[in-house]
Structure 1
């Protein structure tokens, strides 16, 4: 998966102290995110491509082999329109 993910139109990502988790806010409601989803979405800032997000997560959590899980989450989030995936200019 290539591209630069960023939040979809109408969504706002933030930490919600009352919920003690990251959430996605949208006009009709709120989506509570688990820790993994929050860590991935926190890096979907419209500046980093998927490979850079994977590298950052693997470094931050001293882990390897996260690419498939990150790509699966991003694909699901794009399908739900939480994220948009911009093409990387050559």
Structure 2
């Protein structure tokens, strides 16, 4: 049985670059990456504020965890979108790092 794959999109408002760096570290601690694997073994960079994870969990709990943290970094309530997906296709640049 495959683990679900989640996509999360987070937008902070009036945030500084260091706020996003904090968000990236927090998302990594939750198992979310800023890169997505390509079929040939390479990785592609996701757009800013976009993350993927194959870590299991309740989607509503994941959303709440992200929102609770992101709201502290954002002048207004952060926009948070989380979904589960089984297929995707993209045109993305190669990842700088995994």
**TM-score bracket relative to the smaller structure:** 0.3 to 0.5
TM-score normalised to structure 2 length: 0.36
Instruction: Return the structure number with greater relative CO, CA threshold 8 A, min gap 6.
Output: 2
Higher gyration radius (CA):
2
TM-score normalised to structure 1 length: 0.38
